[in-house]
Amino acid sequence: MTQDELKALVGRAALAHVVPGELVGVGTGSTVNHFIDALATMRDRIRGAVSSSEASSARLHAHGIQVVPAEQVERLAVYIDGADEIDGRGCMIKGGGAALTREKIVADLADRFVCIADASKRVEVLGAYPLPVEVIPMAAPQVARRFAAIGGRALLRQGVLTDNGHPLLDVHGLRIDDPPALEAEINQWPGVVTVGIFARHRASACLLGTEQGVVRLDF
Q: Which residues are catalytic?
A: 103
Binder to ligand 5RP among 38, 65, 86, 99 (CB under 6 A)? 99
Residue 25 interacting with ligand 5RP (CB under 6 A): no
Residue closer to ligand 5RP by CB (options 148, 215) is 215
Give, in order, the Cα–Cα distances in Å from 166 to each of 51, 101, 156, 195, 201. 19, 10, 11, 13, 22
Q: What are phi and psi of 133, to 5 degrees?
A: -140, 120
Axis crossing angle, helix 30-39 with helix 54-62, rounded to the nearest 10: 30
Residue 81 interacting with ligand 5RP (CB under 6 A): yes
Residue 194 interacting with ligand 5RP (CB under 6 A): no
Binder to ligand 5RP among 29, 127, 167, 179 (CB under 6 A)? 29
Q: In angstroms, rounded to a whole number, what is the distance separating the alpha carbons of residues 118 and 178?
A: 23
Residue closer to ligand 5RP by CB (options 84, 170) is 84
Residue closer to ligand 5RP by CB (options 27, 127) is 27
Binder to ligand 5RP among 12, 17, 94, 201 (CB under 6 A)? 94
Strand order in the sheet with 23-26: 48-51, 23-26, 76-81, 110-118, 205-210, 213-218
Residue 83 interacting with ligand 5RP (CB under 6 A): yes
Residue closer to ligand 5RP by CB (options 20, 35) is 35
The answer for 216, left when phi > 0, alpha when psi is -120 to 50, beta otherwise, is: beta
Q: In angstroms, rounded to a whole number, what is the distance separating the alpha carbons of residues 29 and 187?
A: 24
Binder to ligand 5RP among 14, 76, 82, 171 (CB under 6 A)? 82
Rg (CA), the chain: 17
Spatial contact of 93 and 197, defined as CB atoms under 8 Å apart = yes
Residue closer to ligand 5RP by CB (options 55, 140) is 55
CB of 104 vs ligand 5RP, minimal distance in Å = 10
Q: In angstroms, rounded to a whole number, what is the distance separating the alpha carbons of residues 207 and 126?
A: 18
Binder to ligand 5RP among 25, 90, 97, 130 (CB under 6 A)? 97
Residue 100 interacting with ligand 5RP (CB under 6 A): yes
| Interaction site with ligand 5RP (CB under 6 A) | 27-31, 81-84, 94-100, 103
